[in-house]
Amino acid sequence: MDFDLDPTLLIVSLVPSGVGYVLFTYGRKEQRWPQLVCGILFMVYPYFAGSVATMVGGGAVIGAALYVMIAADL
């Protein structure tokens, strides 16, 4: 795996990681599994995103999955 220290990617990765931390903390405190799992995914996936476009796309997919899980009342 090639680790590229692109400054734009590093700065942009702070946003989903921060959202993931907040979701993880909320999910753990309130014992809500969808928020807990999506929080972990939000914190981890920026490590595997190779570009800003894949980071935005991955965040959109995880966010949509969270929305669907909350709407289904899981």
Contact 34, 74 (CB under 8 A): yes
User: What's residue 27's pLDDT?
Assistant: 94
pLDDT digits (tens), the chain, 74 positions: 566 677 888 888 899 999 999 999 999 999 999 999 999 999 999 888 888 889 999 999 999 999 999 999 76
User: What's residue 74's pLDDT?
Assistant: 63
How is residue 57 written in tokens? Answer: 């796309």
